[in-house]
Amino acid sequence: MEAKASARYLRVTPMKARRVVDLVRGKQATEALAILKFAQQGASEPVYKVVASAVDNARQKADREGLSFKEDELFISEAFVDEGPTMKRYQPRAQGRAFQIRKRTSHVTVVVATEEEKGGTN
C-alpha cells in the first residue's frame, strides 16, 4: 500500500527543507516522526506535519480498501522538496539604492509505503 501527502507554498527555503527531508528519507514512518519531533531545524515542523498526514492518508486508504493497517510497517519510500515561487521584496539602502530580498517557498512531498510495495517495484 502506498499513500502520498504534500504541502505547497511553505515559507521555508528549499535548501533548508531538503536538509531536514534528507534526515528521514528511507526510514520507518514512526522513527521519522520521532526524529522530526526533536530536530532543531525550523523546517522540521512543517515536514513533520507532511509525514504525519501521509501516515494518516495510508490509514484512511487501508480502511477504505478493507486492508489491515500496521503503522510499524510503513516507511518513507519517497521524499522530495521542490522550489516554489519566490516573493521579491525591496529594502532601501544607502544613497537611494534598493536591495532585493528573495523570500523563497517550497513544495514538500512525502510518499509512504509498506514493504510489499518496495519488493514489487525493485
User: Which tens digit of pLDDT belongs to each residue from 66-121?
Assistant: 888 888 999 999 999 999 999 999 999 999 999 999 999 999 999 999 977 555 44
Determine the pLDDT at residue 69: 86
Half-sphere exposure of 63 (CA within 13 A, CB side): 7
Neighbouring C-beta atoms of residue 27, cutoff 10 Å: 17
Q: Are 54 and 4 in contact (CB under 8 A)?
A: yes
**Residue 74 cell numbers, joined:** 510503513
* pTM (two decimals): 0.88
CA–CA distance, 73 with 53 (Å, rounded to integer): 16
Q: Model confidence over 26-52: pLDDT tens digits? A: 999 999 999 999 999 999 999 999 999
Strand, coil or helix: 111: strand
**Residue 43 cell numbers, joined:** 523546517
Q: Are 74 and 114 in contact (CB under 8 A)?
A: yes
CA–CA distance, 35 with 105 (Å, rounded to integer): 23
Element (H, E) at 94: none
Cα torsion 67, 29, 50, 77: sign: negative
